[in-house]
Amino acid sequence: MKRKARGAGEQADGTENWYTGPAWRDRDGKAARRRKRIRTGVAAVIVAAGVVTFAVNPGDIRSKLSGVVGGDTVAEPLPAETAAPGAAPDGEAFPATPTLKEPFAGSPAVRYADGVAGIVPPAAKAVGRLSKDEVAAVLRQAKELLVDANLNPRTLRGERSAAALDLLDPLQPGTRQDLEAWLAEPGREHDPLRLFTRFDPHEVRPAGDVVKTRGRMTFEEGQDGALAVHADYTFVYPVVRAAQGASEVTRTVVRRVVDFEVNDPERFQATPGKLALARFDSDFGNTACEVYDGFLHPQFPDSRSGPMTSGPTVDPYDRSKELSGDKSTGCGTVSRI
């Protein structure tokens, strides 16, 4: 499916229409662990066309409700996530339309933390050969990589993620070198979106300076005495078209699960102070399908892609489910954005 050309957008009609599509894309990339017995994996990409649906708010009743953005009060921030939630967050009976003033209106993300504040490493403790302070340093590095790959404005507008790349172990085969190549020449089988969040600055620009973040980080002693760090975060990006004067807001939701390892350099080929990638999986809510240029392409209500080809309806805000890596179900439609 070829991507349609897009012109300048204007704010949706009043506050009555809410866009809940069109597409959810699931990507998977699994890096080899840096051990003497090297385990390699093939990264798979699943894409699909999507649909656009709308919900009506008769009489703008939501403006009379309290406890929601656009009503009488502002929603309270969520407490920090310490474990996987038991279910997806409740939806609003009359979801609000996002605007430049309130780009997260009508979304569970309105209660998420702002940007870097949403990535809070757990309290460190000694693990195996590593002291408490050494573990704390690794957790900081993991946060730095996530921040540079998903929140740095330069990365978001498509520039090279230098800080994130520099944190990766150059001795881990097929990882940093591959990522560098993917950034230089994106394609279906070498897509930098597997680890980095990137938008085409000629197509869209941020709707404000806030990205909402929700998730958690854990750590434990892994195989062969390695320190294993598990990160699971959802990032919500509000955008408008890049055209001057554009004001219609939509959002793209990215969930990333990244597993890091720090191996003993006296036992394995590893660079002290660098991170190895053991796994990186991603879900994308609201991006064009069959486009492999290294950018996410948020869809707006008037850029309908056609009927969904395969896959289920997915709630991109549902953090209760693991990213299984099962690509057999194809790709479906997001239930909300």
Distance of CA 155 to the CA centre of its chain: 13
- What's the pLDDT score for residue 296? 97
Q: Percent of the chain beyond pLDDT 90?
A: 59
- What's the pLDDT score for residue 12? 32
Q: Are strands 54-56 and 24-29 parallel, antiparallel or unpaired?
A: unpaired
Residue 47 or residue 253, greater confidence? 253
Tell me which amino acid residue 12 is.
A
The predicted-structure confidence for 171-212, as pLDDT tens digits, reads as follows 999 899 999 999 999 999 999 999 999 999 999 999 999 999
- What is the Cα–Cα distance from 103 to 244, expressed in whole angstroms? 18
| Over residues 154-183, mean pLDDT | 96
pLDDT band at 329 (very low <50, low <70, confident <90, very high): low
- What's the pLDDT score for residue 80? 87
Alpha-carbon distances of 173 from 37, 162, 269, 301, rounded to whole Å: 12, 18, 10, 43
- What is the Cα–Cα distance from 168 to 56, expressed in whole angstroms? 47
3-state secondary structure (DSSP) of residue 188:
coil
- What's the pLDDT score for residue 7? 35
- What's the pLDDT score for residue 244? 93
Comparing CA positions, the residue from 160, 155, 157 lying closest to residue 183 is 160
| Over residues 246-264, mean pLDDT | 96
Asked if residue 312 has a cis previous peptide bond (ω within 30° of 0), the answer is: no
pLDDT band at 332 (very low <50, low <70, confident <90, very high): confident
Identify the bridge partners of residue 199 per DSSP, sorted by sequence position: 296
- Is it the case that residue 17 has pLDDT exceeding 80? no
pLDDT band at 289 (very low <50, low <70, confident <90, very high): confident
| Over residues 228-236, mean pLDDT | 98
- Is it the case that residue 9 has pLDDT exceeding 90? no
The predicted-structure confidence for 63-112, as pLDDT tens digits, reads as follows 333 344 444 346 788 988 988 888 888 877 667 899 999 999 999 999 99
| Over residues 54-64, mean pLDDT | 32
Could you give the count of Cα atoms lying within 13 Å of 240 in the half-sphere of its Cβ? 23
- What is the Cα–Cα distance from 121 to 13, expressed in whole angstroms? 42
Rg, the chain, Cα only:
20
- What is the Cα–Cα distance from 170 to 294, expressed in whole angstroms? 22
For residue 276, what are the contacts with CB-CB under 8 A and spacing of at least 6? 31, 33, 34, 168, 169, 172, 175, 260, 261, 262, 263, 270
